[in-house]
């Protein structure tokens, strides 16, 4: 159960977004453009996510409360905290309410404008003092903190670590963190499953698609292999951008492999894990199309060679499947 402080901040944030028209605008856009198409269209490294996506993240209650809980357990009065990729600002607001000195960094000017509005509301309501939270328009992967950091909050995560600039941001900020400093989230693991899925028309090899209950998109699929852990990232240390694997995956069901199903549980903190089924936005399953499809039978193995840069778009990667021997 969320604490009283987390519940209050979340409730008042949702109320503000509703009264300001942000949620009705989000619902309108969900009808007009799927998240798959928007993520392909926007330039995340130079502009960040769009403001509507920051609002959408808030509506993922499990994800939002997991981060609020981790912050409440970690932050002490007087801590120096950087939230890199501010979004609506709800996580920075939680840290400020706990007495931290917070720097909120956001690259998207419009999204920063929303965070400023929300921050002013909480300051006016007496949740924290203005000097506790400084909002800055900047690229968090190049911005230098003015002093040593106790905590980095960087919720720039997506299944498979596609799209988002989490790794360049955290890599840049880690040298500014003290010896007892920490990072939220702690890490992320990515699994791949060979699958036969009902996929959208006109999606060719290497293109991606995602199911979304909020957007009314459900793609039936059959999992033809067990999940295979292929990437395990610890955000408390520097990580490379390249993800390369060459693995043999046993087949458990017959069918046509026409997609790679990727999902990524998030270790928000030591005892706070966001599992596959917990997240409904930007943490849900992502499918990558395999074309031509590969017919498989149980007792065989498939060699999967996959390479992409973490933070890139799925279509910029390379994906190869070869049927191997019967085992």
Reported as a single tens digit per residue, the pLDDT across 97-118 is 999 999 999 999 999 999 999 9
- Alpha carbon 182 to its chain centroid, in Å, reads 18
Note the pLDDT of residue 37: 75
Note the pLDDT of residue 326: 59
Note the pLDDT of residue 214: 64
Segment 30-44 shows an average pLDDT of: 76
What does the pLDDT look like over 174-190, one tens digit per residue?
A: 999 988 899 999 999 99
Note the pLDDT of residue 31: 73
What does the pLDDT look like over 275-308, one tens digit per residue?
A: 988 887 777 899 999 999 999 999 899 999 999 9
The token pair at 202 is 């006109």
pTM of the model: 0.93
Q: Mean pLDDT score of the chain, rounded to an integer?
A: 92
Note the pLDDT of residue 291: 95
The token pair at 210 is 């995602």
For helices 109-124 and 90-97, what crossing angle results, to 10°? 30
Of the candidates 312, 288, 284, 310, the residue with the CA atom closest to the CA atom of residue 59: 284
Task: Determine the straight-line distance between the first and last CA of the chain, rounded to whole angstroms.
Answer: 47
What does the pLDDT look like over 189-230, one tens digit per residue?
A: 999 999 999 988 788 999 999 887 766 778 889 999 999 999
46 pLDDT higher than 70: yes
Of the candidates 154, 140, 161, 149, the residue with the CA atom closest to the CA atom of residue 184: 154
Which residues, in sequence order, are bridge partners of residue 197? 221
Give all domains of the chain, ordered by start, each with its CATH number.
Answer: 4-184 (3.40.50.150), 188-326 (2.70.160.11)
For helices 51-59 and 61-74, what crossing angle results, to 10°? 80
Note the pLDDT of residue 325: 65
């Amino acid at each position: 159960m969320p604490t009283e402080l987390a519940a209050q901040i979340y409730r008042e944030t949702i109320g503000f977004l509703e009264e300001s028209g942000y949620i009705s605008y989000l619902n309108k856009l969900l009808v007009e453009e799927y998240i798959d198409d928007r993520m392909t269209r926007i330039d995340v490294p130079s502009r960040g996510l769009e403001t509507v996506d920051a609002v959408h993240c808030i509506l993922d209650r499990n994800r939002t409360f997991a981060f609020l809980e981790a912050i409440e357990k970690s932050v002490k009065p007087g801590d120096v905290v950087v939230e890199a990729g501010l979004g609506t600002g709800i996580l920075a607001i939680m840290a400020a309410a706990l007495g931290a000195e917070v720097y909120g960094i956001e690259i998207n000017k419009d999204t920063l404008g929303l965070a400023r509005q929300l921050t002013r509301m909480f300051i006016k309501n007496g949740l924290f003092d203005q000097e506790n939270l400084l909002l800055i328009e900047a690229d968090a992967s190049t911005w230098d903190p003015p002093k040593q950091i106790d905590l980095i909050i960087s919720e720039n995560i997506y299944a498979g670590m596609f799209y988002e600039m989490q790794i360049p941001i955290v890599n840049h900020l880690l040298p500014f963190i003290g010896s007892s400093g920490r990072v939220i989230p702690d890490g992320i693991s990515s699994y791949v499953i060979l699958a036969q899925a009902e996929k959208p028309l006109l999606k060719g090899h290497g293109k991606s698609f995602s199911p979304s209950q909020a957007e009314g998109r459900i793609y039936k699929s059959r999992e033809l292999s067990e999940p295979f852990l292929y990437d395990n990232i610890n955000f408390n240390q520097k990580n490379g951008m390249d993800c390369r694997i060459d693995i043999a995956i046993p087949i458990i069901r017959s069918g046509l492999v026409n997609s790679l199903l990727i999902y990524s549980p998030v270790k928000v903190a030591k005892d706070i894990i966001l599992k596959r089924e917990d997240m409904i936005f930007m943490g849900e399953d992502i499918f990558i199309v395999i074309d031509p499809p590969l017919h498989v039978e149980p007792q065989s193995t498939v060699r999967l060679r996959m390479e992409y840069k973490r933070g890139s778009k799925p279509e910029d990667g390379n994906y190869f499947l070869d049927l191997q021997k019967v085992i």
